[in-house]
Amino acid sequence: MSDSVAALIDSMATDLRVRLDAARRTSPLLIGIHTGGAWVAEHLHRLLGITEPLGTLNINFYRDDFTRIGMHPRVLPSHLPVAVDDRHVVLVDDVLQTGRTIRAALNEIFDYGRPASVTLAVLVERDGREIPIQADVVGRSLTLADDRYVKLSGPEPLELVIEGRG
């Protein structure tokens, strides 16, 4: 993991701990969105010392654009190790841009049950929101030109990459 990504995740863990402690949420269910969000969630899970198993979501079947972009040929299943009903969930993703991935993840979580609350933690929040979704914990905020994008490469090492299209 690059030093900058490690520092962002450490900062996120501190912010998340403060937020969870203030709300008296002692045993949250941590869920990472495949793939980058799951990588970040693994590190947060360890740093926060959460004893519940880590959950992962693959939101491909919940996307609103899969008919346009196609389905990835190797779709991994979601894994939620415990019931979500009445649980405080921490949803983790690598990059929040349009909000569509988070919307799809929330739809899937609610198909599993009704959580007491959902806290959103993202490594990078960038401009370009299309759906009114806001992260509660953010590692880094970016403003990029429309033809640029940011992605998390990994899993070893975890590195943020900013590239242009075309």
Instruction: Report the predicted TM-score, pTM, of the whole model to 2 decimal places.
Output: 0.92
pLDDT in tens, 20-65: 999 999 889 999 999 999 999 999 999 999 999 999 999 986 766 5
Q: Is the pLDDT of residue 159 over 70?
A: yes
* pLDDT at site 115: 97
Q: Is the pLDDT of residue 139 over 90?
A: yes
Q: Is the pLDDT of residue 72 over 60?
A: no
* pLDDT at site 137: 98
* pLDDT at site 71: 53
With cut-offs at 50, 70 and 90, classify the pLDDT of residue 76.
Answer: confident
CATH code for position 149: 3.40.50.2020
Structural domains of the chain, count: 1
3-state per-residue secondary structure call for the chain: CCHHHHHHHHHHHHHHHHHHHHCCCCCCEEEEECCHHHHHHHHHHHHHCCCCCCEEECCHHHCCCHHHHCCCCCCCCCECCCCCCCCEEEEEEEEECCCHHHHHHHHHHHHHCCCCEEEEEEEEEECCCCCCCCCCEEEEEECCCCCEEEEEECCCCCEEEEEECC
Range of the domain at 41: 3-164
* pLDDT at site 26: 86
* pLDDT at site 91: 98
